[in-house]
Amino acid sequence: MQIILFVILILLVAVIFAIKKDEFPTKTKIGFLLGIVLVVILSVLYEYAKGSQTNENRLTVNAFLQGKTLTCNGVDVTKQSFEYISGTQTFMPLKTNVAQKGLILEVVNCKIKD
């Protein structure tokens, strides 16, 4: 996907510079380029932040699957009382855990308990 976006970016820059000066002045072309650069920078920052969060979530889930205790919004989450739902990245109580029935805890709100 990143390669396709890079090719589209290169084509867009080439098209902007191929347009005649009569249709778009140089200042307008530079404005377009600065806008494109700004969008690319913001996209890279977003992807970096999202990648860091995804990595942290994966480590949290791995710790849970290895039998470690997590703390999610003040609730202790263990394999004996909760199950991990990968589709929604949440923890839900097992049927035997009647005290916390209906509780749904998101992985992003969980930390590994020391």
Whole-number pLDDT of residue 103: 94
Does pTM surpass 0.75?
no
Distances (CA, A) of 52 to 3, 62, 113: 21, 15, 20
pLDDT digit string, tens, across residues 77-99? 999 999 999 999 999 999 999 99
Whole-number pLDDT of residue 21: 65
Which residues, given as ranges, of the chain have pLDDT below 50? Answer: none
CA distance 91 to 108: 11
Tokens for 35?
């806008």
Residue-number span of the structural domain to which 104 is assigned: 2-112
Phi, psi of 20 (to 5 degrees): -65, 155
CB 61 within 8 Å of CB 69? no
Whole-number pLDDT of residue 18: 76
CA-based Rg of the chain, rounded to a whole angstrom?
24
Whole-number pLDDT of residue 1: 59
Q: Domain tally for the chain?
A: 1
Instruction: Kindly report the number of other CB atoms within 10 A of residue 110's CB atom.
Output: 23
